[in-house]
A and B are shown apart, each in its own frame.
Chain A
Amino acid sequence: MFVARRTGQAIVVLFCVATVAFLVVRMAGDPVKAMLPENATVEQEQALRHLLGLDRPLVDQYGSYLWGLLHLDFGRSLFFHQPALDIILDRLPATVQLSVAALVFALVVSIPAGIISAVRRGKATDSSVMGVVLVGQSTPAFFVGIVLILVFSVELKWLPASGMGGFSHLILPAITLGLYSMAMIARLLRSSLIDVLGEDHIRTARAKGFSPTRVILTNGLRNASLPVVTIVGLEIGNLLGGAILTETVFSWPGVGRLTVEAVTNRDYPLMQATVLFLAVVFVVVNLIVDILYAFLDPRVRLS
């Protein structure tokens, strides 16, 4: 029941997103004028307009747009002369690789950092971890990227500054993209663990003589993980949005870079498709997280 209701909501949201994307791109003015040279004749203009189906009534266009979406037809790129979805799928592996690496980095750093910080609450370790977290939250991704390039590519010459290749190409972009999520997750895990560690069942476990490490890792962490699961889901959405900037900094050939290219080329169908695609991924990821959450915490299902 919960799953069905939540899925229904996600479908409504996606429908609205598709409509907004359609309207915004139609507001963008006449793509035909932008595509043709200045000295094109009226006949040429009309021919192209007809070819693109832009001479039909708006409702008609909207109908076939939605119908196309149902058949996974996201329109054709004006610039690449290919179906938009093909181009996106072509670029998707690069973005997935980058996002997964960023998420792995974020989790590997944030989980120990959050635990240590919570356990040593108020001590110097805690303040320094929280200091790093605050800086991570306050620094825009592109500046982090540029500093990393400056230090590790320009000065030390250890890692490449741009492009895609082996593992060494992945390190700097992944850290850049993952830093903000790392900070968010560490901060949330710390506060949620501090709350949990103050509860009775933790005191009971301690009184039973279990070692502090075991109490924290089994009793504490399991209960503190619920809010963290939610935020990880939201962070996946943020990673996709952040990919636009990170991929630009490092000339990473993914969907984010493609979006910026579509924008600068005024390739409206491709722009519409990338916006829609990112929104779909975001909604679906959050749907999955919500459902997972309901399985982890029965209270959610009942409310």
Chain B
Amino acid sequence: MAAPADVSRPSPRTASRSTWAAIRRALRRNKVAQVAAAVLLLVVIVGIFGPLIAPHDPTAQDLTARLAPPFWAHGNVPGHLLGTDSLGRDVLSRIIYGARISLLVGVAATLLSGVIGSVIGIVAGYYRGWLDMIFMRLADIQLAFPTILLALTVVVVLGPSLWFVILVLGFTGWVSYARVIRSEVLSLRSREYVTAARAIGDSDLQIMWRHLRPNVLAPLATIATLQVASMIIAEASLSYLGLGVPPTVPTWGGMLSDGQLYIRTAWWISVFSGIAIMLTTLAINITGDMLRDVADPKAYR
């Protein structure tokens, strides 16, 4: 009895191998995407090995070297490549440690919202009816709240914390996954292999897990990649407003906000941290666009 179900299931191994080949081909053709992927790799390495790379403790204050400019400018204090901030903390080291927070929030919040969103999307698309209607109305309500507003409120209520930021962003980000995956499942559910699986007595749960889930992975991966960038920007926005991660933790958004106070005398604090955010999200967006073109060549935009 298991045989027909096996035939209908695409072998995951060959599928992933051909996907990787397609990504490699797309990368070879696309010079910009190569650079983006390299930047992304660099940010990830810096994020993971930050403490080994950073020249200084990111919170160590050196009050004799306050607001020192970057290495090429007159008045630079040796050892502080990108200068120091108003408390004499090393800007480069803070950016390196900030990468960890940005990546952690970006990836964790994306995973959380991806899981929630795809479960809702698959269930809503598969069962349709009232369940679908409730979830889609919930999506409307969610969209009626600008995310940042909800995040602000929750952070004020629960207090600043890295984990609350991840949870809020994770729980508010499900809508885009749910909508795309739902519409995908709506068309998948009438495919022959789903009918076949039902005919041999697979339960709804089995059908959703074995037959629908593998087939929505491609759009899921594309949205997730792009979502990491939005999550990083959202975290940076909250930290910029001073309402995200506790202010003692070095974050890119927090540095930008600190630096704005000294914009007339020490532009490097906010500019370097801003460039860090911009390069990271730009690299993620370019990579995500490339992945989308691989996953769905027709959707070229």
Q: Which of A17, A20, A140, A259 contacts B237 (CB 8 A)?
A: A140
* Minimum Cβ distance to chain B for residue A111 (Å): 17
* Given A263-B153, A263-B156: A244 touches B144 (CB 8 Å cut-off): no
> Which residue of B148, B233, B264 has the most chain A CB atoms within 10 A of its CB atom?
B233
Segment among A40-48, A90-98, A131-139 that sits at the interface with chain B: A131-139
Task: Say whether A240 faces chain B, with CB atoms less than 8 Å apart.
Answer: yes
| Neighbouring B residues of A283 by C-beta, 8 Å | 144
Contacts between chains A and B (CB distance < 8 A), count: 132
Q: Which of A24, A140, A188 contacts B153 (CB 8 A)?
A: A24
Q: With CB as the reference atom, state the residue of chain A lying closest to B157.
A: A28
In Å, the complex CA distance between A237 and B146 comes to 8
Interface residues on B, range: 35 or more
Is the beta-carbon distance between A138 and B278 smaller than 8 angstroms?
Answer: yes
Is the beta-carbon distance between B146 and A240 smaller than 8 angstroms?
Answer: yes
Task: Say whether A168 faces chain B, with CB atoms less than 8 Å apart.
Answer: no
In Å, the complex CA distance between A188 and B281 comes to 20
Is the beta-carbon distance between B271 and A147 smaller than 8 angstroms?
Answer: yes
Segment 273-301 of B: residues with Cβ below 8 Å from A: 274, 277-278, 281-282, 284-286, 300-301
Is the beta-carbon distance between B274 and A147 smaller than 8 angstroms?
Answer: yes
Is the beta-carbon distance between B270 and A263 smaller than 8 angstroms?
Answer: no
Q: Which of A149, A190, A271 contacts B263 (CB 8 A)?
A: A149
Is the beta-carbon distance between A143 and B241 smaller than 8 angstroms?
Answer: no
| Neighbouring B residues of A266 by C-beta, 8 Å | 156
| Neighbouring B residues of A149 by C-beta, 8 Å | 260, 263
| Neighbouring B residues of A248 by C-beta, 8 Å | 240-241
Is the beta-carbon distance between A259 and B282 smaller than 8 angstroms?
Answer: no
Segment among A8-16, A77-85, A216-224, A295-303 that sits at the interface with chain B: A8-16
Interface residues on A, range: 35 or more
In Å, the complex CA distance between A248 and B257 comes to 10
- B-contact bits for A116-151, CB 8 A (1 contact / 0 none): 000000000000000000110111111100110110
Is the beta-carbon distance between B137 and A9 smaller than 8 angstroms?
Answer: yes
Interface residues of chain A: helix, strand, loop or mixed (majority):
helix
Is the beta-carbon distance between A245 and B285 smaller than 8 angstroms?
Answer: no
Task: Say whether B209 faces chain A, with CB atoms less than 8 Å apart.
Answer: no
* Minimum Cβ distance to chain B for residue A268 (Å): 9
* Given A9-B140, A245-B237: A142 touches B146 (CB 8 Å cut-off): no
| Neighbouring A residues of B243 by C-beta, 8 Å | 260, 263
Q: With CB as the reference atom, state the residue of chain A lying closest to B267.
A: A150
Is the beta-carbon distance between B271 and A142 smaller than 8 angstroms?
Answer: no
In Å, the complex CA distance between A109 and B100 comes to 36
Q: With CB as the reference atom, state the residue of chain A lying closest to B229.
A: A138
* Given A154-B267, A279-B144: A191 touches B301 (CB 8 Å cut-off): yes
* Minimum Cβ distance to chain B for residue A46 (Å): 24
Is the beta-carbon distance between B146 and A17 smaller than 8 angstroms?
Answer: no
Is the beta-carbon distance between B157 and A150 smaller than 8 angstroms?
Answer: no
Segment 182-238 of A: residues with Cβ below 8 Å from B: 187-188, 190-191, 237-238
A residues with a Cβ closer than 8 A to B are 9, 12-14, 16-17, 20, 24-25, 27-29, 134-135, 137-143, 146-147, 149-150, 154, 161, 187-188, 190-191, 237-238, 240-241, 244-245, 248-249, 259-260, 263-264, 266, 271, 275, 278-279, 282-283
**4 closest A-B pairs by CB:** A241-B146, A143-B274, A191-B301, A138-B282
Known: A17-B141, A135-B282, A146-B271. 10 other contacts (CB 8 A): A13-B140, A20-B145, A138-B229, A140-B237, A140-B274, A146-B274, A237-B143, A260-B241, A279-B145, A282-B143
Between A and B, 8 residue pairs with Cβ closer than 8 Å are A13-B141, A27-B157, A28-B153, A138-B229, A138-B278, A140-B277, A275-B149, A283-B144
